[in-house]
């Protein structure tokens, strides 16, 4: 089996076992397929730094899933110690506040520079995958849905200079839209369909995680409890590979043309549904309001050309419709925003066009 680095680096294996011997066996057996091994509190509190030392000696990347949460100075000192002990990744609770997160990342990066190491990847923990909406609202008295609260916490992490966050798959795409495509999202609760589900409430398969934009996928008992661990990790690797291939195909550029009655042809990139549409060309000079324009009955049967150079920046929401459907036959823009950035957005404009079978063109 040929191992591709861009797939391997996405796989984070949780070493949630009782003894260093068990952990070392997993590392030795699966290191060809795993980009990062995760050491959590179960292993650390039972065995200290023994497994850290083992991986550091073998130059194996590991993620200390420590979830720091304390006063800023204490967390900064702990972050320094974590880097000195060889971790490439570690995390802290975003609910500790921006000052705590900022001091932690500054201390960790300063220490890495002093030691001649690569910058560590520092992630903020948003909403634990074991926390349901009911738990968040009734027990913790947070008056938001988990996905809404996670996005708020992710923005705090970005403002504090963290590299990304730990979040559920179901928040990953929106976090990327709000915080930028380079902001990393590590997703726990990843289980293939053939694996039993345990204590995490908001789970997803590896293929769904890739589709939703996850950068790192934490795999645990689906592999570590499997009868044949190598076969299990290979199956997960192949699922991720197939999902990435499908994703890359979906982003392939499809060409389109605008052909006028007088024979003039304008070539561009398709941004909506595949197909052909016919209709009178009309121009709209609005800077905003494309959702209302598309669903305005007065544009029935027409192809709308938006003259403002950037369209789609706030996506499509459930409130700004003029009617219950798109009345236009086609939609033409100068440039389509790839990542909408509005908290009300339910889906991108391009996806909305596709779902409604509307031909679109970027010229």
CB 339 within 8 A of CB 176: yes
Best CA proximity match to 183, nearest among 155, 206, 204: 155
CB 326 within 8 A of CB 294: yes
Q: Which residue has the tokens 């700004």?
A: 320
Q: Over range 317-322, report the average pLDDT.
A: 87
Best CA proximity match to 312, nearest among 282, 349, 345, 346: 349
Q: pLDDT tens, 24-36?
A: 999 999 999 999 9
pLDDT value at position 201? 52
Domains parsed from the chain with CATH numbers: 5-250 (3.20.20.70), 255-362 (3.50.30.20)
Q: Over range 209-215, report the average pLDDT.
A: 93
Q: pLDDT tens, 56-115?
A: 999 999 999 999 999 999 999 999 999 999 999 999 999 999 999 999 999 999 999 999
CB 92 within 8 A of CB 64: no
| 340: pLDDT strictly greater than 80 | no
| HEC-encoded secondary structure of the chain | CCCCHHHHCCEEEECCCCCHHHHHHHHHHHCCCCCEEEECHHHHHHHCCHHHHHHHHCCCCEEEEEEECCCHHHHHHHHHHHHHCCCCEEEEEHHHCHHHHHHHHHHHHHHHHHCCCCCCEEEEECCCCCCCHHHHHHHCCCCCCHHHHHHHHHHHHHHCCCCEEECCHHHHHHHHHHHCCCCEEEECCECCCCCCCCCCCCCECHHHHHHCCCCEEEECHHHHCCCCHHHHHHHHHHHHHHHHHHHHHHCCCCEEEEECCCCCEEEEEECCCCCCCCCCEEEECCCCCHHHHHCCHHHCCCEEEECCCCECCCCECCCCCCCCCCCCCEEEECCECCCCCCCCCCECHHHHHHHCCCEEEEC
pLDDT band at 319 (very low <50, low <70, confident <90, very high): confident
Q: pLDDT tens, 177-191?
A: 899 989 999 999 899
| Rounded Cα–Cα distance for residues 318 and 129 (Å) | 27
pTM: 0.68
Distance set, CA 357 to CA 211, 279, 351, 353 (Å): 22, 15, 10, 6
Residue 239 has φ and ψ, to the nearest 5°, of -65, -40
| 250: pLDDT strictly greater than 70 | no
Q: pLDDT tens, 219-244?
A: 999 999 999 999 999 999 999 998 88
pLDDT value at position 309? 85
pLDDT band at 338 (very low <50, low <70, confident <90, very high): low
Calculate what percentage of the chain has a pLDDT beyond 90: 64
pLDDT band at 251 (very low <50, low <70, confident <90, very high): very low
Query: Could you tell me the sign of the dihedral formed by the alpha carbons of 21, 23, 24, 26, in that order?
Result: positive
Calculate what percentage of the chain has a pLDDT beyond 70: 94
- Token digits for 263? 């024979």
Is pLDDT larger for residue 305 or for residue 324? 305
User: So which residues are the catalytic ones?
Assistant: 67
141, burial (CB in 10 Å: exposed 0-12, middle 13-18, buried 19+): exposed
Q: Over range 158-162, report the average pLDDT.
A: 97
| 314: pLDDT strictly greater than 90 | no
CB 80 within 8 A of CB 117: no
| Rounded Cα–Cα distance for residues 146 and 55 (Å) | 35
Best CA proximity match to 132, nearest among 168, 175, 156, 166: 168
| 207: pLDDT strictly greater than 70 | yes
| 249: pLDDT strictly greater than 80 | no
| Rounded Cα–Cα distance for residues 22 and 19 (Å) | 5
pLDDT value at position 125? 97
Give me the helix-helix angle, 169-179 and 146-159, nearest 10°.
Answer: 40
Q: Over range 325-330, report the average pLDDT.
A: 91
pLDDT value at position 203? 64
pLDDT value at position 3? 86
User: Mean pLDDT for the chain?
Assistant: 90
């Amino acid at each position: 089996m040929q191992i591709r680095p861009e797939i391997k680096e996405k796989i984070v294996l949780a070493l949630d076992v009782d003894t260093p011997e068990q952990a070392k066996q997993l590392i030795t057996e699966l290191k060809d397929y795993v980009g990062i091994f995760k050491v959590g509190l179960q292993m650390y509190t039972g065995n200290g730094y023994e497994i850290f030392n083992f991986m550091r000696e073998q130059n194996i990347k590991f993620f200390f899933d420590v979830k720091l949460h304390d006063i800023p100075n204490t967390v900064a000192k702990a972050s320094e110690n974590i880097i000195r002990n060889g971790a490439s990744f570690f995390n802290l609770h975003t609910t500790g506040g921006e000052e705590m997160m900022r001091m932690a990342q500054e201390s960790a990066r300063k220490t890495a520079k002093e030691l001649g190491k690569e910058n560590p990847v520092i992630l903020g923990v948003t909403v634990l995958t074991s926390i349901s909406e009911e738990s968040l609202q009734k027990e913790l008295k947070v008056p938001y849905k988990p996905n809404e609260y996670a996005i708020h916490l992710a923005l705090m992490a970005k403002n504090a200079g963290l590299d990304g966050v730990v979040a559920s798959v179901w928040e990953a795409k929106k976090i990327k839209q709000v915080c930028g495509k380079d902001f990393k999202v590590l997703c726990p609760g990843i289980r293939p369909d053939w694996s039993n589900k345990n204590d995490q409430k908001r789970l997803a398969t590896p293929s769904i995680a890739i589709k939703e934009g996850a950068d790192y996928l934490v795999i645990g008992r689906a592999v570590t409890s499997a009868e044949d661990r190598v076969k299990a990790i290979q199956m997960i690797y192949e699922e991720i590979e197939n999902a990435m291939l499908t994703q890359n195909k979906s982003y392939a550029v499809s060409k389109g043309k605008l052909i006028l009655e007088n024979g003039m042809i304008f070539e561009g990139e398709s941004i909506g549904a595949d197909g052909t549409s016919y209709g009178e060309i009309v121009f709209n000079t609005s800077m905003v309001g494309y959702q209302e324009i598309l669903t305005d009955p007065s544009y029935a049967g027409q192809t709308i050309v938006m003259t403002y150079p950037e369209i789609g920046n706030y996506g499509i929401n459930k409130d700004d419709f003029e009617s219950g459907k798109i009345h236009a036959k086609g939609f033409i823009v100068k440039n389509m925003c790839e990542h909408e950035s509005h908290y009300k957005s339910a889906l991108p404009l391009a996806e909305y066009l596709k779902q409604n079978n509307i031909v679109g063109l970027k010229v």
